[in-house]
Amino acid sequence: MDKLFGSFATVRKSATVLAASSDNERKQALLAVAQALAAHKEEIFAENSRDLDAAKTAGIPDAILHRLAFTEEKLKSVTTGLKELSELRDPIGLTKEKRELDPGFVLEKRTFPIGVIGMIFEARPDALVQIAGLALRSGNGIILKGGKEARLTNRKLVEVIKEATLTFSFGAGWILGIESHEDVDVLLKAEGYVDLLIPRGSNAFVRHVMDNTRIPVIGHADGICATYIDSTADQDKAIPVCVDAKIQYPAACNATETFLVHKDIAPSFLPRLNAALKEKGVTIHADSSALPHMEGAVPATEKDFHTEYLALECAVKVVGSVQEAIDHIQNHGSHHTDAILTQDKAAAARFTAGVDSADVFVNCSTRFADGFRFGLGAEVGISTSKLHARGPVGLEGLMTTKWILNGDGQTVAEYSGPEGKSFHHKELAT
């Protein structure tokens, strides 16, 4: 434990230097990481192949295998993401608020890195690169624990990233990979070394983290996302949106797991939805009202509407109104991402106001719930918390703030008592 705490202390020390580094140096470091990943890709692919072989032998589900694979396409995606991160404005030192308390007495609220972040995530090597890139751009140290199935790939990726940043002022100490459950237990006790924990995984795991640490935690557990097709929906547009929301990447937490269809269009829409999803190999669990309109579907149980499939599988339910759809999402969803497809602006407004989720979309796929697609420069995850960060957590979500007050000898006594000066509190442009 002492050895690991020593490693955590190294991350904190390096993170302090990283936080004070220049915008240009962090940009150049990101580009160096992208170049290094491309240069070492064959080594990375070889380690990933070993991880995949071991996972297949262990009978790991296809959804996890899909996440585990680190392909040319995923390499291209993460290196492109690193380059785009380098082009985003510096998140450090931005003025969020500014007011003049008195002439020449100015108060500012500015952004600064959180410090050291502990990230526990699923067996997705590409997520490791995205997370590391966001930490580097935002000036935060990062401690990474990926799913055990990706152990060899993650180890190689951290090695390559460390080597790429070794010659910069902050060195390679800002990033640390840990591997065992025992390491995670130590991480949860690392108050004073780690400023924020972001766990991704099952509800039970996220709850375990929250219950066993005094370090602040943000993140989400399940991604039980719903798409509601309203009675006024443009069905020609709704079908491809629904298909995309389910099959574009079914293993992702923002894939739709439940389709809610208004009763007035059920007879016409459900057969079309059924055909479109069946063509893509989707298994459909339909409630008693939907089942007659969906040939080949299987009867849904209550459990199906509480299930995050992460596969080519979904649940379908017929509802009588926008409010019934909202109520279903409230009782069965996970506050992640939910969508309405409608041509009725009043229905859209009611849905967006009534659904208590981090992301609420109108007339588009739930798969857009992503930091990269939001223009945030990738994400460390989706937060369903209502404090600090909510939705995709990109650069802004990895920043905290400080109040900076610049004076010229002012004292509180000057502003106290019946003869004291009065503040004028003038808001200034940021």
- Per-residue pLDDT reduced to its tens digit, 43-76: 999 999 999 999 999 999 887 898 899 999 999 9
Query: Amino acid letter at 15?
Result: A
> Shortest CA distance to 352 belongs to which of 343, 362, 344?
362
Within 280-314, where are the H helices? none
Q: How many CB atoms lie within 10 A of CB 345?
A: 10
- Lowest-pLDDT range of 131-135, 210-214, 391-395: 391-395
C-alpha torsion 385→389→395→401, nearest 10: -140
What lies within 8 Å, CB to CB, of 138 at 6+ separation is 91, 92, 113, 395, 398, 399
Predicted local distance difference test score (pLDDT) of residue 155: 98
| Bridge partners, residue 424, by sequence | none
Fold of 2-220+381-402: Aldehyde Dehydrogenase; Chain A, domain 1 (3.40.605)
Residue 411's pLDDT band, with cuts at 50, 70 and 90, is: confident
Residue 302 has pLDDT above 90, yes or no: yes
The DSSP code sequence of 400-421 is EEEEEEE-SS--GGGG-STTPP
Residue 274 has pLDDT above 80, yes or no: yes
Predicted local distance difference test score (pLDDT) of residue 370: 87
Residues of the chain with pLDDT > 70, as a percent, come to 99
Residue 221's pLDDT band, with cuts at 50, 70 and 90, is: low
C-alpha torsion 34→39→41→46, nearest 10: -140
CA separation for the pair 385, 209 (Å, rounded): 15
The string of pLDDT tens digits covering residues 68-121 is 999 999 999 999 999 999 999 999 999 999 999 998 899 999 999 999 999 999
Q: How many CB atoms lie within 10 A of CB 235?
A: 13
The string of pLDDT tens digits covering residues 358-399 is 999 999 999 999 877 887 767 787 787 777 778 888 888 899
Rounded to the nearest 5°, which phi and psi values hold at 193?
-105, -35
CATH superfamily, domain at 225-368 = Aldehyde Dehydrogenase; Chain A, domain 2 (3.40.309.10)
Residue 251 has pLDDT above 90, yes or no: no
Residue 41 has pLDDT above 80, yes or no: yes
Pinpoint the residues of the chain covered by CATH 3.40.605.10: 2-220+381-402
DSSP letter for 386, please. S
CA separation for the pair 20, 170 (Å, rounded): 9
Predicted local distance difference test score (pLDDT) of residue 377: 65
Predicted local distance difference test score (pLDDT) of residue 204: 77
CA angle 309, 124, 75 (to 5 degrees): 125
- 72-87 and 41-57 helices, crossing angle to 10°: 130
CA separation for the pair 222, 302 (Å, rounded): 17
Residue 405 has pLDDT above 70, yes or no: yes
Residue 424 has pLDDT above 90, yes or no: no
Q: How many CB atoms lie within 10 A of CB 238?
A: 22
Q: Which residue has the tokens 């006790």?
A: 189
Predicted local distance difference test score (pLDDT) of residue 228: 98
Residue 275 has pLDDT above 70, yes or no: yes
Residues of the chain with pLDDT > 90, as a percent, come to 79
Pinpoint the residues of the chain covered by CATH 3.40.309.10: 225-368
Residue 1 has pLDDT above 80, yes or no: no
User: For the chain, what is the mean pLDDT?
Assistant: 93
Residue 346 has pLDDT above 70, yes or no: yes
